[in-house]
Amino acid sequence: MKTLLIPFVALASLGAAPAPKPALAPSEIVAAAPASDWIAIAPADMLVMTLANGKQAVIQLMPPPFSQGWIGNIRKLAAAHWWDGLSINRVQDNYVVQWGDANEKKALPAGLVSVGEGEYSSAKSDVLKLSSLPIESNKGQQPLHSVDEIIKEVTADWAKAYKKSGLAAYGDSDAYSDVTGILKGWPVALDDENIWPVHCYSMVGVGRNLSPDTGSGAELYTVIGHAPRHLDRNIAVVGRVISGIENLSSLPRGTGALGFYEKAEERVGIISIRLASELPTADQPRFEYLSTDSKSFATYADARANRRDAFFNVPAGGADICNIPVPVRKKP
């Protein structure tokens, strides 16, 4: 039997097809993305928060057309060094970290504007202005002229990653909007009349009082829990933490209502918040994000929705918009 078995095994191995390459995990796809697929973030679009405990966080500000009234205020507040000496005042588990003036007594710098509630989203007339702005999914094509066209373009971008359903069908399952996608590297939601940024993990928003107050930008928070999408279009989204979110999410939880600290000594002090462009060149952070118009991102997004790497047995077949975070890395 042994003399017959040996040649049989040899013949079987000669005819065997080569083993398929193991599927890559999303992190491996991102790591393999070529340098040309990465877009640098300008220092003028980043805030550097330095805390009294020695930790830092870097915030990327939202690009046009979203929330620009508040972002203009935030730039003025940073230029005036207004946050220096203030504190983190609220850490609510599975929700937000919030900072600003705990006593609400510090005078605001001159020149801040009051922003209307209509600016929480961009209306159809504002979306038309996008025709003069670079839209990653619209490279090399004609300018956009209608909401339908912009939805089509965002859909086309995501269809690369979702070959079976595309963004339109994917968006139909979103509980908060008609369509979701990524515009210029940011997660957004759309309907027939509006387009707005969404509250995903690490997004930064503007604290406010009851309507009609919309907040000045002096009181800010970042999401440290499950995406609170119910806040979309009710509060201004102005950016996202791209580095150091762990230095905020790991802070002790406040024991007061809504996670506010009940004692002043519990608050974490803020040494400074500066626009990165204001810092010495050697101290400026350098980050870049993976272009959402790139083949690498399409492959990455597909892998996030359908995990095929060794650990997973059943691909999910889809992903929530907040479960496909745009990769950001330090610039090599």
Average the pLDDT over 105-126 and give the result: 88
Cα gap 72→70, rounded to integer Å: 5
Instruction: Please give the structure tokens belonging to residue 226.
Output: 């499950």
Q: What is the pLDDT of residue 153?
A: 55
Picking from 38-52, 254-268, 295-309, which range would have the lowest pLDDT averaged per residue? Answer: 295-309
Q: How confident is the model at residue 254 (pLDDT cuts 50, 70, 90)?
A: very high
Give me the mean pLDDT over the 89-108 stretch.
Answer: 97
CA–CA dist 26, 65 (Å, integer): 30
* 182-197 pLDDT, tens digit each: 877 888 888 878 889 9
Using alpha carbons only, how large is the chain's radius of gyration in Å? 23
pLDDT value for 128: 43
Mean pLDDT confidence for 22-43: 95
pTM, two decimal places: 0.84
Pull the structure tokens for residue 231.
């806040």
Confidence category of residue 130, pLDDT binned at 50, 70, 90:
very low
Q: pLDDT digit string (tens) for 35-53?
A: 999 999 999 999 999 999 9
Q: How far, in Å, CA of 62 to CA of 238, rounded?
A: 5
What's phi and psi for 107, nearest 5 deg?
A: -65, 140
Cα 200 to Cα 92, 136, 243, distances in angstroms: 16, 21, 15
pLDDT recorded at residue 15: 56
Asked if residue 213 lies in contact with residue 174, where contact means CB atoms within 8 angstroms, the answer is no
**Residue 316's pLDDT band (cuts 50, 70, 90):** confident
Q: Per-residue pLDDT tens for 224-235?
A: 999 999 999 999
- Structural domain boundaries in the chain: 35-102+120-326
Q: Which of 64, 94, 104 is nearest to 216 (CA)?
A: 104
Contact 287, 329 (CB under 8 A): yes
pLDDT of 152: 57
Between residues 11 and 261, the one the model is more confident about: 261
Sheet containing strand 186-190, edge to edge, reads 122-123, 194-197, 186-190, 179-183
Helix H or strand E segment including 222: strand 220-223
Instruction: Give the separation between CA 145 and CA 153, rounded to whole angstroms.
Output: 11
> Residue 102: is its pLDDT beyond 90?
yes
Residue 138: pLDDT band with limits 50, 70, 90: very low
Q: Which two tokens stand for residue 175?
A: 């509980």
Cis before 65? omega within 30: yes
Q: Which CATH number does 35-102+120-326 carry?
A: 2.40.100.10
Q: Which comes out higher in pLDDT, residue 320 or 30?
A: 30
pLDDT of residue 318: 81
| Residue 70 near residue 215, CB atoms below 8 Å | yes
Q: What does the buried/exposed string (b/e) look like for 134-143 if buried means 16 or more CB atoms within 10 Å of the residue's CB?
A: ebbbbeeeee
